[in-house]
C-alpha cells in the first residue's frame, strides 16, 4: 500500500503460518483472530485497516469475543480506532474479556483495528463483520433526549453543519443498573473562550446537573474519553447568541461492570 496514505501494514502478515492483519476494502467482510475458532497464538500484533468508499462509514458488529481478561486490558486486547491514526483522540475503545464490544460506526470511511496478545493465556478470540452503510445525507436537528440502548450517537443540532445560536440541549444516557457509561468524542469544534462560558459541552456523572460535574469543554480540542461511576450520564450543550462552529459528535455505550470514574 501507499504509506503516505495508509499505515504501512502488508496485505497479509504471517505469524507461524497464521493469517494476521491486512487491508479490507470490500463493502462487507468477516475478520477474525488468528486460528479462530481455535485458540489464538501468543505474542501477536495484528493490524487491520478497513477502507470503504467516500461517503460511507464503517460499521462493526461482533459475533464472538473471548480474550484474556484484565481490569485495564493490559494483556490481550483489541483496540478500535476512528481513521488511520493511532492517536488517543481517535481511540474508540480498548476491549478484553468475554463481553463483546458494542456495535461501532466510524465517522468517516476508514477504521483501524489492532489485536494484541501477550506470551501466555490464550482464548478463542473474536469474529466480527464490517459493513459500509452510506453516511446519512439528511441532517437531523435533534436537541436533547434519552438514550437507553447498548450504544448510541449524540451530536449537536444539524451536525456537521454549523449549530444554531441560543441552543440549550440535554441528553441523558441510561444503561443497565450494574453498568457504567463510556463516552468518546469523534469530532469537536465549538466557539473557543478561556472559561468555556459561551458555547460549551458539560458532562455530569448522573442524570441531573446536581450530580458530580465531570467537565466543561469548548474550542477545537477533543475532550478526553469519559467513564462514569454510575449507570447514567448527562450531556448538556449550550450556545450563546453569536459565533458558532461545526459542533460535535460522540459515541456512548454500556461499558459493563462498575468502576471508578476516569478520563483516559
Beta strands in 21-144 (DSSP E): 22-24, 28-32, 45-51, 59-66, 77-82, 91-95, 104-105, 110-116, 125-131
For residues 18 and 257, which has the higher predicted lDDT (pLDDT)? 257
Residue 91 confidence (pLDDT) = 84
Instruction: Characterise 37 by phi-psi region: left (phi > 0), alpha (psi -120 to 50), beta (else).
Output: alpha
191 pLDDT exceeds 80?
yes
- % of the chain exceeding 70 in pLDDT: 84
242 pLDDT exceeds 70?
yes
Q: Please name each of the domains of the chain with its CATH number.
A: 13-131 (2.60.120.290), 145-263 (2.60.120.290)
Element (DSSP H or E) covering residue 204: strand 200-205
Q: Dig out the grid coordinates for 152 from the structure.
A: 448510541
| DSSP code, position 100 | P
Residue 148 confidence (pLDDT) = 79
203 pLDDT exceeds 80?
yes
CB atoms within 10 A of CB 197: 11
Looking at residues 16-21, what average pLDDT do you find?
62
207 pLDDT exceeds 50?
yes
Q: Dig out the grid coordinates for 49 from the structure.
A: 485497516
Looking at residues 160-165, what average pLDDT do you find?
90
8 pLDDT exceeds 60?
no
CB atoms within 10 A of CB 178: 9
Residue owning grid cell 506470551: 119
- Sheet containing strand 232-238, edge to edge, reads 145-147, 168-174, 232-238, 200-205, 212-217
Looking at residues 103-123, what average pLDDT do you find?
89
Q: How confident is the model at residue 86 (pLDDT cuts 50, 70, 90)?
A: low
List the one residue out of 74, 65, 71, 86 whose CA is nearest residue 119.
74
Residue 95 confidence (pLDDT) = 94
Looking at residues 173-195, what average pLDDT do you find?
89
Residue 3 confidence (pLDDT) = 35
Are the CB atoms for 241 and 155 separated by under 8 Å?
A: no
Please give the backbone phi and psi of residue 236, each rounded to the nearest 5 degrees, phi first.
Answer: -115, 130
Distance CA 44, CA 54 (A): 31
10 pLDDT exceeds 70?
no
1 pLDDT exceeds 60?
no
List alpha helices for the chain, DSSP H.
none
Looking at residues 56-61, what average pLDDT do you find?
86
Residue 224 confidence (pLDDT) = 92
Residue 119 confidence (pLDDT) = 94
Distance CA 185, CA 221 (A): 10
Amino acid at each position: 500500500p501507499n504509506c503516505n496514505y495508509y499505515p504501512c501494514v502488508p496485505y497479509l502478515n504471517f505469524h507461524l503460518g497464521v493469517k494476521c492483519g491486512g487491508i479490507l476494502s470490500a463493502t462487507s467482510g468477516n475478520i477474525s483472530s488468528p486460528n479462530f475458532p481455535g485458540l489464538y497464538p501468543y505474542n501477536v500484533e495484528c493490524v487491520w485497516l478497513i477502507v470503504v468508499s467516500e461517503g460511507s462509514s464503517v460499521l462493526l458488529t461482533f459475533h464472538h469475543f473471548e480474550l484474556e481478561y484484565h481490569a485495564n486490558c493490559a494483556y490481550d486486547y483489541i483496540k478500535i480506532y476512528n481513521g488511520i491514526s493511532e492517536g488517543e483522540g481517535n481511540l474508540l475503545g480498548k476491549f478484553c474479556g468475554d463481553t463483546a464490544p458494542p456495535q461501532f460506526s466510524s465517522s468517516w470511511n476508514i477504521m483501524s483495528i489492532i489485536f494484541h496478545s501477550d506470551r501466555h493465556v490464550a482464548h478463542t478470540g473474536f469474529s466480527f463483520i464490517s459493513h459500509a452503510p452510506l453516511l446519512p445525507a439528511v441532517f437531523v436537528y435533534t436537541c436533547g433526549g434519552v438514550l437507553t440502548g447498548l450504544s448510541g450517537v449524540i451530536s449537536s443540532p444539524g451536525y456537521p453543519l454549523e449549530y444554531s445560536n441560543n441552543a440549550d440541549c440535554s441528553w441523558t444516557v441510561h444503561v443497565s443498573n450494574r453498568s457504567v457509561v463510556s463516552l468518546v468524542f469523534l469530532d469537536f469544534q465549538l466557539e473557543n473562550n478561556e472559561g468555556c462560558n459561551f458555547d460549551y459541552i458539560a458532562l455530569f456523572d448522573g442524570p441531573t446537573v446536581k450530580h458530580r460535574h465531570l467537565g466543561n469543554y469548548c474550542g477545537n480540542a477533543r475532550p478526553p474519553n469519559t467513564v462514569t461511576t454510575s449507570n447514567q450520564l448527562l450531556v448538556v450543550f449550550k450556545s450563546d447568541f453569536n459565533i458558532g462552529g461545526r459542533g460535535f459528535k460522540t459515541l456512548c455505550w454500556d461499558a459493563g461492570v462498575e468502576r471508578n470514574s476516569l478520563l483516559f
